[in-house]
Amino acid sequence: MDYVYGPGRNHLFVPGPVNIPEPVLRAMNRNNEDYRSPAVPALTKTLLEDVKKIFKTTTGTPFIIPTTGTGAWESALTNTLSPGDRTVSFLIGQFSLLWIDQQQRLNFNVDVVESEWGQGANLDILADKLAADSAHTIKAVCIVHNETATGVTNNLVKVRQILDNYRHPALLLVDGVSSICALDFRMDEWGVDVALTGSQKALSLPTGMGIVCASPKALEASKTAKSVRVFFDWNDYLKFYKLGTYWPYTPSIQLLYGLRAALDLIFEEGLDNVIARHSRLGKATRLAVEAWGLKNCTQKEEWYSDTVTAVVVPPYIDSSEIVRRAWKRYNLSLGLGLNKVAGKVFRIGHLGNLNELQLLGCLAGVEMLLKDVGYPVKLGSGVGAACAYLQNNIPLIPSRI
């Protein structure tokens, strides 16, 4: 029973947590098990092998940690760096801000490169800092691949090119919480040293699992990193990997079975097809926003996100009222504007196990909401623009051909 009942299904279009597919729900509907029995290590072994595929790595070592993305951040930082180490980190929205705050509270020396919210990371400044750092005092470059607060996707290929151009040994640490399994992500090819994601985003699981993947270079750095870590210590995991039992503490059995089912769905669809589907959903949403006469918070096409769109409202409208009314009247959940863009934008999440017709239902709801709050939208304009694009671009479902 819902805590606050509404008929039908809640239309969940926040950029995480996202819809959970029925096969995953069924897989998690099971009793507890002894994680020291032969069954759970056997399951864990297949999960560790398969999560490497979503990072597109053959050389990385994955860690499945009972935590959130915030815990995964801490795991990435404390296992590779020492207090006082210099990092370069990009402030482009709420979640990059929070990661910077964590770095500062963990006593790293953070060079903050700030951009206007709605812009991507300023990579020219990164190049200048690396060029000036002949002593290699910068130990890590920390970047959010997809800033969920503003709908901005950063170009990781360019980040790696800049590091390579200056032959700089800094580690590349990437928050892929709202990108991995939805946007193109290539850990090995792009030279990412630590990548991380959370179960409640494109994996379409409940919150509670942080997945971190470390390159051989990152594992080597962990041998000398002096940051205090206990719960997030990779060494504890590695000891149990060698023993073949895998878990230094009790995992969530239900989430492990859910992850197995989620990965099976992704692989059945094909990871590249999943990424292409998200590209269609992002493009359709942006076409709808344009048809409504509204602006995308993201200022340049090169930064557009295919997992979340932040929609800027006119000054006479409070975007928070749109979000409140969506839930109260239409059983539709949209993302609030956060911090600097609070009241100025609302966010449409389009990631995870989601199809085009579900998205069209959301867009129809948004049109009614805009009408409700006094914006002169033409009903059907955004939905029509999205339909025209999708009708020409949705492929046949591979399993049904």
Domain residues of the chain, as ranges? 11-18+270-400, 22-267
pTM score above 0.95: yes
Tell me if 347 is assigned to a ligand binding site. Answer: yes
Cβ density class 213-236: b for 16+ within 10 Å, e for less: bbbebbbebbeebebebeebbbeb
DSSP 179: T
- Whether the per-residue pLDDT at 166 is higher than 60: the answer is yes
* Cβ contact 176:146 at 8 Å: yes
Comparison of pLDDT for 173 and 1, the residue scoring more: 173
The CATH architecture assigned to 22-267 reads 3-Layer(aba) Sandwich (3.40)
DSSP state of 397: P
Q: In CATH terms, is domain 11-18+270-400 a member of 3.40.1010.10?
A: no
Rounded-to-integer distance, Cα 283 and Cα 399, Å = 24
Least confident of 4-8, 255-259, 268-272, 386-390: 4-8
- Residue-wise pLDDT tens digits, 231-285: 999 999 999 999 999 999 999 999 999 999 999 999 999 999 999 999 999 999 9
One-letter amino acid for residue 36 of the chain: R
- C-alpha R_g of the chain: 21
315-352 pLDDT, tens digit per residue, is: 999 999 999 999 999 999 999 999 999 999 999 999 99
3-class DSSP state of 293: coil
